[in-house]
Structure 1
Amino acid sequence: MISPKQFIANKKTTIKEAMEKLSSLGKHYSHNILLLTDKNENLEGSVTDGDIRKAFLNGATMETTLQEIGSKTPIVAPEGMPDENMLQLLKINKIQSLPIVNDDGIVVGIKKLEDELDYGRSDNSYAIIMAGGLGSRLMPLTSDIPKPMLKVCDKPILQILIESLKYYGFNDIVINIRYLSDIIVDYFKDGSDFDVNIQYIKEPEPMGTAGSLGLIDNGILSEKPFLVINGDILTTLNFRSFFDFHNAAEYDFTLCGRPYKVKIPFGYPVIEGDTVTEFKEKPEFVHLVNSGIYCISPELVQMVTKNEYFDMPDLIDAAIESKKRIGVFPLREAFHEIGRIETYKEAEGFYKKHFLHGITTDWYMHNS
């Protein structure tokens, strides 16, 4: 049981302040909780990382207060409940933190699921990395090396990604290869030097961002959801939390949506019917855009057209048409895509800021 003092927050706390506090509670902040109490320390509500992500999807801003987004009826355990019963409560309700209250409703402790489990656990779930592209926009840098093997601070992009996956318990990795594939295979081999298990699938020709899924052995993707990640990104995303989010919500397909700002350089009338109700001068809108990170349930692989070009948007459209549950996980962690020479030059600074010093920075916090 953990002392609750560091988890206490005021109802008037803003989302920005809450994100800073959650981050300060430890590297695995997405599993933390903030407890909303009155002046007598009676529990009145709670806010989790998931609550904040959902709030952003519903239009919340960094200045939205916690009383507007928090759960007013958090699941709690009475003081004295046996540990095994609290663990059962955590698992049944698919939550990461359980406030413990005394007879007066005052929080006296917190039970956390990660204290009971190996956080970097491996459950034989697979991560598939798409690393077969030509990297045309990075020519001439990619004329003799695959884009995912370009180095950032003397380490290939692909290695950084594999190390992140391993940290979150994804030890079974499949790498999709094609362009200059021998360089990738010769470097990583079977993955044993990196303490992971690596298999390869080689496209005979370009097959799109999802087509190669049809080449993977059915035994690999037949039982559990799996991750699919573009091989040209750097991110501090907690891959385990993303995976758990997909399973807890029982989605068939979940994509990471990162915030992208669009600024209108003109005056913008807000119109209802033919009436202007508000006028905004050069407004800025934030949309969630695809980040190239997905969690997919195995039955969707059957929708991939075999041995044909098939992009991930094609798979999403097919899933929607088949009435599958498609979810979005708002990505508020640091993210950097290396798609152009300019972004490759920026990658070293990104890596030094977010990886070398162990900093996990929230995307929204620095881009709002």
Structure 2
Amino acid sequence: MKPWRKALINKHVTLVQAIEVLDKAALRIALVVDEDDKLLGTLTDGDVRRAMLKHLALNTPVSQVMNVQPKTAELSWTESRIRAVMEQYELLQLPVVDAESRVVGLANLHDILNKKRHDNPVFLMAGGFGTRLRPLTNNCPKPMLKVGDKPILEQILLNFVDAGFHRFYISTHYMPEVICEYFGNGEKWGVSIQYVHEDEPLGTGGALGLLPHEEIDQPLFMMNGDLLTSLNLHSFLEFHVTHNGVATMCVREYEHQVPYGVITSEGTQIKSMIEKPIHRFFVNAGIYLLAPALVKSVAPGTRIDMPTLLEQQIENNKVVNMFPIHEYWLDIGRMDDFNKAQDEFSSIEVIK
């Protein structure tokens, strides 16, 4: 069992504090206990995302969000029995408790079944010029700039490799030889890497038309090559598969505070005054899962951006879902983002 004590929280902890525990413990679950470690409830990734979709305040106590009747295993149970219960109820984690309901462990289905190998193709977009990061990108593609001791693109690749993915495609345009020479065919990482090259920029979605469509037989991950994130790839894939859409877009919650008092009125009469209100929106996080049919619908040479491609699907009454992410996420688009990445990288907990 992994160090499950990192996942223990009390019922007064706020949602934002619980999210920090979920991220740092990397166990995909938080165990809500009293002062004697007796189990009061559980909080999972799914519980948090449902709360986010409802726009619950981040200072909401976990007692209002947690599952108060979680399934548990007894200390005397064999691993086979634990696995059977987890499969019966489709659970990824199962708290282990003693006779007094005190938490004494946490069973993890992924550990029980060992690491699963995923055949989903992964498409990493690495063709950008990185003009806002000049002069660093004068002689180096932005995805090849180092964060820590490795290029950004390698950090992304390793996250997928560690999660069990092995089929990679990389799109190139600016200084493609630097990327191709570094990654080769992927043998160094025990994976397969193929390249598609854009002679002219085709937009964020146009490179889909250059992929070998006959090989895209499962939902395809598509991700910008300048992102650092600890996104739980397994949760993302599970969500996409179970929600039956042609695409799933990762989204982040973005807050904007109006710097003035906002007035609502009827005619000349003031009805209300709100001082510096905060508006919350979901914004595109640059990570997608796409159905094979959608990938194959993009013809070679098509110039199109991903938002436009997905808007077309929505207009045609196709289901496009969103997956709210609470994990670490940073778009390295400007120099201050790059410097921030250097400062924060060592603290990122990537969930396998």
Tell me if TM exceeds 0.5: yes
Greater displacement, 44-53 / 89-98? 89-98
1:221 paired to 2:225:
no
In 1, the alpha carbon distance for the partners of 2:9 and 2:287 equals 32
In 2, the alpha carbon distance for the partners of 1:14 and 1:339 equals 32
Residue 78 of structure 1, CA deviation: 7.3
In 1, the alpha carbon distance for the partners of 2:94 and 2:267 equals 48
1:111 counterpart (92, 99, 107): 107
In 1, the alpha carbon distance for the partners of 2:95 and 2:193 equals 40
Over residues 94-123 of structure 1, what are the superposed CA-to-partner deviations in whole Å (9 max), with x where a residue is unaligned?
A: 43113467899887764321221224x322
Aligned to 1:18: 18
Greater displacement, 248-257 / 129-138? 248-257
State whether residues 226 and 331 of structure 2, in contact with CA within 8 Å, keep that contact through their aligned partners in structure 1: yes
Residue 5 of structure 1, CA deviation: 7.4
Aligned to 1:289: 283
1:177 counterpart (172, 178, 181): 172
The within-5 A match list for 1:1-368 is 9-23=9-23, 26=25, 28-29=26-27, 31-35=28-32, 41=38, 45-76=41-72, 83-84=79-80, 86-91=82-87, 93-99=89-95, 110-119=106-115, 121-222=116-217, 224-269=218-263, 279-354=273-348, 359=349
Structure 2 residue matching 1:219: 3-state secondary structure: helix
- Name the aligned partner's letter for residue 22 of structure 1: L
Residue 212 of structure 1, CA deviation: 1.2
Residue 129 of structure 1, CA deviation: 0.3
Alignment CA distance shift 1:251-1:11 (3 Å): farther
Structure 1 residue matching 2:213: 3-state secondary structure: coil
Aligned to 1:365: none
- Name the aligned partner's letter for residue 313 of structure 1: P
- For structure 1, the 5+ residue unaligned runs are 362-368
Residue 240 of structure 1, CA deviation: 2.8
Alignment CA distance shift 1:338-1:67 (3 Å): same
Alignment CA distance shift 1:74-1:206 (3 Å): same
Structure 2 residue matching 1:350: 3-state secondary structure: helix
In 2, the alpha carbon distance for the partners of 1:48 and 1:188 equals 36
Alignment CA distance shift 1:328-1:183 (3 Å): same
Residue 218 of structure 1, CA deviation: 2.3
Greater displacement, 157-166 / 77-86? 77-86
In 2, the alpha carbon distance for the partners of 1:273 and 1:167 equals 61
RMSD of equivalent CA atoms? 3.4
Over residues 49-72 of structure 1, what are the superposed CA-to-partner deviations in whole Å (9 max), with x where a residue is unaligned?
A: 221122122112221012322234
Q: Count matched residues.
A: 351
State whether residues 331 and 337 of structure 2, in contact with CA within 8 Å, keep that contact through their aligned partners in structure 1: yes
When the two structures are superposed, what TM-score results if normalisation uses the length of structure 2? Answer: 0.84
In 2, the alpha carbon distance for the partners of 1:134 and 1:194 equals 26
Structure 2 residue matching 1:50: 3-state secondary structure: helix
In 2, the alpha carbon distance for the partners of 1:253 and 1:276 equals 45
Residue 185 of structure 1, CA deviation: 0.6
Structure 2 residue matching 1:200: 3-state secondary structure: strand
Identical columns (%)? 34
State whether residues 303 and 315 of structure 1, in contact with CA within 8 Å, keep that contact through their aligned partners in structure 2: no
In 1, the alpha carbon distance for the partners of 2:125 and 2:227 equals 11
State whether residues 140 and 175 of structure 2, in contact with CA within 8 Å, keep that contact through their aligned partners in structure 1: yes
In 2, the alpha carbon distance for the partners of 1:249 and 1:88 equals 25
When the two structures are superposed, what TM-score results if normalisation uses the length of structure 1? Answer: 0.81
State whether residues 202 and 303 of structure 2, in contact with CA within 8 Å, keep that contact through their aligned partners in structure 1: yes
Greater displacement, 317-326 / 209-218? 317-326
Alignment CA distance shift 1:46-1:269 (3 Å): farther
In 1, the alpha carbon distance for the partners of 2:311 and 2:207 equals 17
Residue 73 of structure 1, CA deviation: 4.4
- For structure 2, the 5+ residue unaligned runs are none
Residue 130 of structure 1, CA deviation: 0.4
In 2, the alpha carbon distance for the partners of 1:321 and 1:344 equals 37
Residue 85 of structure 1, CA deviation: 5.2
